[in-house]
Structure 1
Amino acid sequence: MNKKIIVCLFFITISFFVKGQENTWSLQKCIDTALENNIEIKIRQLEIKRTQKARNSMLNEILPVVNLFGSQSYNFGSTIDPSTNGRVSSNIQYDNFYLNAQMNLLDFNAIVNSKRNKISIEIAKAEKEIIENEYKLQILESYYQALFTQELLKIQKEQLKNTIFNFDRISKEVNTGSKPKSDLYDIQFNLSQEEKQVIETEQLFTIQKTQLFQLINYSNIIIENVSLEKALASNVETEKEINNPKIISAKLNYERDLKEVSLQRSNNLPVLSAFYQISSFYYKPLNQPDVIVDSFNNQMGNNKNQQVGLQLNIPILNGFKNNRKINVAKIESEKSNLKIEQENQKVAQQLEIEEKNKQNYLALQKKLDEVLAFAHASFITTQAKFVVGKVDTFIYSSVKNNVLTSEYNVLKNDLQLQYINFKMNLIRSNNL
């Protein structure tokens, strides 16, 4: 007796140890890990940063442009001196310097371009959201495929415990001669079949978990120790407002195309700018030591010249090229507007299908619960008859399989409802 107690305690301890080693993953944890590890999403994040850095703010658009120019040149040869009408040498060194500053005081093109570039940043964010949304839907499907198998495995193991109990009982009864040996063979066959099913389901579960963690690009884990968390049905709420990233992206593209029309039109509008320029030069005759010239500093100061003014640039005629560009931009904006309608239709159709599936599963739920209740009642009576030998092993096995199938159908229907609610939330707003 003490030996049996020690063995029981050993197995209980091992059971607690194994449970302690389990690594439970929720759907949200899988998605969060996936978003951190996905390379495509990292690329999209860098694209957002690139677009932000590339955008010129309105302040940058109106800041002055300042340029400093300098040149040094040499003239060699001769020329006619008008005072003597004789030829003289013209070997001279010239140094020219000027500083130029220009600022647009009124530039409609710069204003529209700044607004368009701001929309481009939002488009880059929306495109990242589209990648995330498609990725989340893939993870959701992979997660629930593995979760279906995990819950089926739990049911199969519970049924296997019952079969092992009956196997032990029949073995004792065969040994005492109260049951024929053929009953033992029958229960052994059923036990082997159920053990095979458990092994096959465990193998499938391992493959599906491996596929899931490959999808989320996470390898620092022991797959066999992973268990998946089943969400409570009451915790799954359905979003009502539609903020699908594809629709948002289509709307932003339409706004940007409208800005493109305004940008092309702004090329026909005047540009008012202010400018300031200061210049000076230095010259020195070459190979003429008898010629006296002022120093570099004196010449630069004496030859200094400044200019300040306003400039108005009014486009008059450019061969109607800009009108063609405006018409092309209008057509692109019309295409973008139709794209919004197209994306709205796609999302509405997806949600309509999922809503019908949801209603179908809800309609089945009550009937499946009813079937399960009858299956349990049938199993209880069959189990009692099986114990006293009124039914054979095959009838008992058939009834037990009915219970297994009914339990799995109820569970799968519940998980399908969770899956559809999560999927509809992702389609609507990219959130669980």
Structure 2
Amino acid sequence: MLNLCSIFTVLHSKYMKINKYNSLVFAVLFGFGLSGQAQTKQWTLEECVRYALDNNITIKLSELDVKNAVIDKRGALGSYLPSVNGNASHSWNIGLNVNPVTNIATTQTTQYSSLGVNAGVDIYKGLQNQNTYRRAKLSIISSQYQLVKMQEDVSLNVANAFLEILFNKENLKVKKEQLSIDQKRLARSEEMVNAGTIPRGDLFDLKATNATDQQAIIVAENSLLISKLSLAQLLQLKDFTDFDVIDDTNAKDENGILLQSPDDIYNKAKEIRTDLKIAQTNLEIAEKNVSIAKGAYQPTLKGFYQFSTSASYSDRTGLDANGNPITFGPDPIFTQFSDNKGHNFGFQLNVPIFNGFSAKNNVERNKVSFEKSKIDLEQKSLDLQRNVYTAFTDAKGALNTYESSTVTLEARQQAYNYAKEKYDVGLMNSFDFTQAQTLLTNAQSDVIRTKYDYIFKIKILEFYFGIPIIPIITK
């Protein structure tokens, strides 16, 4: 508010004839404009990755999967504990019925209450409880690996989107510089046409070239906007109008990953890559599923205990001392609960004899799943080896291509400078000069493209070697 007031004071004192209301509106709008510029933030790659790891929806879903696995483990642990349940009921019986307490049939309205407690515990269940608990612990490990893999994938996607913005920024800068050069050349050519040094037809070619440059700038600006939008959406940002990233165009192998051999990278990747850890854990889970299924072949032994008591609220009939029938009320309710209590406990043994091959089929299905998990682990190992060697070859090739394009750019720049000297003195026509300029522009674009292609492929190779974009901290 102080800034707005000071701006308004300066404007008011400088323009005394301007309407007071219009001055205030202008000052407020100007202040908001300054505020909007001050709020523009340029994100670093690390900030983008950190924000994505904290806000990406897919990662949040993976975190919930970890919580579910923890809950499943708690449930598996509960299978070791006895189950205890209480029950209570109250009923009304109207007409002829048997009093469940006195066991006498009477025609009257009676009320009946019962209380009970049941307890049971698995003594032996074919080791299914133990194997289920071990499987639950493996499931937690698997879900944690899945979370780490999701974080790695999101980090790599963010890095790719970040580099795409940098590429489009440099590409736009080249297009603008090219337009600036062509505009100066157009102005120079107009002077040369007026002086009769070059034909007027060359001027038309230059005007067409300037129009083409402006079109190229529009295309480059749209590409930059779309790349910013893609990264903002990947970060789950709602407001991306002022979103921008810090220019970091360093194209170096800072970690010296290309100094490693493909075999060294592969051996390192086998130890740390999350894909293999997930496949290995899934294999162990499949093995536990086979053990759980085999437990259905064995007998089960359970211990149980039941306690029950009841009370009736109906009148009772009897004989007095003289043998005459009399009616008297029910005993006190707590007295009935005490007199009618009962206990029941023992063991229950179930021996599987024939169950329609359900246990056998379940075991066979889990064995098939186990074999599939073994094959999946082997396939993941082969895929990793192929991917490492491919990534290493791609990174090497990208480096060579980048270096070659840099040499080509230097040569094209010298050729362009020579052509410009000839064109300025009238020894080269406009068409040939435009060709030299086009070749230079293409060489500049190739350098930008190959540089960021090299950077991204280095990042992929570093991932296989266990060097993340930023350290990933598991929760």
Query: Could you tell me the TM-score, scaled by structure 2's length?
Result: 0.70
Q: What secondary structure does 1:100 align onto?
A: strand
User: Does residue 269 of structure 2 align to residue 241 of structure 1?
Assistant: yes
Out of 306, 310, 315, the position equivalent to 2:351 is: 315
Deviation at 1:162, TM superposition (A): 2.9
Q: What secondary structure does 1:267 align onto?
A: helix
User: Does residue 364 of structure 2 align to residue 364 of structure 1?
Assistant: no
**CA deviations over 1:189-224 (Å, ceiling 9, x no partner):** 44333333223322333334334434544340226x
Out of 100, 112, 117, the position equivalent to 2:131 is: 112
**CA deviations over 1:212-242 (Å, ceiling 9, x no partner):** 434544340226x635644523366457425
The amino acid across from 2:408 in the alignment is V
Kindly indicate whether the alpha-carbon contact (under 8 Å) linking 2:298 and 2:352 is maintained by their aligned counterparts in 1: no
Deviation at 1:418, TM superposition (A): 0.9
Out of 87, 90, 114, the position equivalent to 2:105 is: 90
Out of 409, 421, 430, the position equivalent to 2:458 is: 421
Deviation at 1:140, TM superposition (A): 4.8
CA distance in 1, matches of 2:317, 2:154: 81
Q: Which residue of 2 aligns with 1:82?
A: none
Deviation at 1:37, TM superposition (A): 4.6
The structure-2 alpha-carbon separation of the partners of 1:271 and 1:56, relative to structure 1 and needing over 3 Å to count, comes to farther
The amino acid across from 2:218 in the alignment is I
The amino acid across from 1:90 in the alignment is A
Q: What secondary structure does 2:399 align onto?
A: helix
Q: Which residue of 2 aligns with 1:263?
A: 292
User: Does residue 418 of structure 2 align to residue 381 of structure 1?
Assistant: yes
CA distance in 1, matches of 2:216, 2:98: 108
Out of 416, 429, 445, the position equivalent to 1:392 is: 429
For residues 272-421 of structure 1, what are the structure 2 equivalents within 5 Å?
Answer: 273-282=302-311, 286-288=315-317, 290=326, 294-306=331-343, 311=347, 313=349, 315=351, 317-319=353-355, 321-421=358-458
CA distance in 1, matches of 2:316, 2:166: 96
Deviation at 1:258, TM superposition (A): 0.9
The structure-2 alpha-carbon separation of the partners of 1:95 and 1:365, relative to structure 1 and needing over 3 Å to count, comes to closer
For residues 18-167 of structure 1, what are the structure 2 equivalents within 5 Å?
Answer: 23-56=41-74, 59-71=77-89, 76=96, 90-91=105-106, 95-105=113-123, 107=125, 108-129=127-148, 138-167=157-186
The structure-2 alpha-carbon separation of the partners of 1:295 and 1:236, relative to structure 1 and needing over 3 Å to count, comes to same
Kindly indicate whether the alpha-carbon contact (under 8 Å) linking 1:280 and 1:305 is maintained by their aligned counterparts in 2: yes
The amino acid across from 1:99 in the alignment is V
The amino acid across from 2:182 in the alignment is T
User: Does residue 239 of structure 2 align to residue 220 of structure 1?
Assistant: yes
Kindly indicate whether the alpha-carbon contact (under 8 Å) linking 1:273 and 1:312 is maintained by their aligned counterparts in 2: yes
Kindly indicate whether the alpha-carbon contact (under 8 Å) linking 2:402 and 2:454 is maintained by their aligned counterparts in 1: no
Deviation at 1:115, TM superposition (A): 1.8
The amino acid across from 2:395 in the alignment is K
CA distance in 2, matches of 1:191, 1:101: 89
User: Does residue 229 of structure 2 align to residue 210 of structure 1?
Assistant: yes
Q: Which residue of 2 aligns with 1:11?
A: none
Deviation at 1:166, TM superposition (A): 3.5
Kindly indicate whether the alpha-carbon contact (under 8 Å) linking 1:70 and 1:98 is maintained by their aligned counterparts in 2: yes
CA distance in 1, matches of 2:311, 2:227: 82
Q: Which residue of 1 aligns with 2:10?
A: none
The amino acid across from 2:71 in the alignment is K
Larger mean Cα displacement after TM superposition, 259-268 or 284-293: 284-293
Q: What secondary structure does 2:86 align onto?
A: strand
CA distance in 2, matches of 1:126, 1:308: 46
The structure-2 alpha-carbon separation of the partners of 1:381 and 1:152, relative to structure 1 and needing over 3 Å to count, comes to same
Query: Could you tell me the TM-score, scaled by structure 1's length?
Result: 0.76
CA distance in 1, matches of 2:134, 2:428: 81
CA distance in 2, matches of 1:89, 1:210: 84
Out of 191, 195, 220, the position equivalent to 2:214 is: 195
Number of equivalent positions: 405
Kindly indicate whether the alpha-carbon contact (under 8 Å) linking 1:133 and 1:245 is maintained by their aligned counterparts in 2: no
Kindly indicate whether the alpha-carbon contact (under 8 Å) linking 1:277 and 1:307 is maintained by their aligned counterparts in 2: yes
Deviation at 1:276, TM superposition (A): 4.2
Kindly indicate whether the alpha-carbon contact (under 8 Å) linking 2:269 and 2:464 is maintained by their aligned counterparts in 1: no
The amino acid across from 1:156 in the alignment is K
The structure-2 alpha-carbon separation of the partners of 1:101 and 1:189, relative to structure 1 and needing over 3 Å to count, comes to closer
Deviation at 1:36, TM superposition (A): 4.5
CA distance in 1, matches of 2:55, 2:313: 69
Deviation at 1:334, TM superposition (A): 0.7
CA distance in 2, matches of 1:216, 1:294: 74
Deviation at 1:329, TM superposition (A): 1.4
The alignment's C-alpha RMSD in Å is 4.0
CA distance in 2, matches of 1:49, 1:115: 17
The amino acid across from 2:105 in the alignment is S
Task: Give the percent of matched residue pairs that are identical in Structure 1 and Structure 2.
Answer: 21
CA distance in 1, matches of 2:337, 2:39: 84
The structure-2 alpha-carbon separation of the partners of 1:51 and 1:430, relative to structure 1 and needing over 3 Å to count, comes to farther
Q: What secondary structure does 1:68 align onto?
A: strand
Kindly indicate whether the alpha-carbon contact (under 8 Å) linking 1:27 and 1:229 is maintained by their aligned counterparts in 2: no
CA distance in 1, matches of 2:98, 2:43: 92
Larger mean Cα displacement after TM superposition, 23-32 or 154-163: 23-32
The amino acid across from 2:399 in the alignment is L
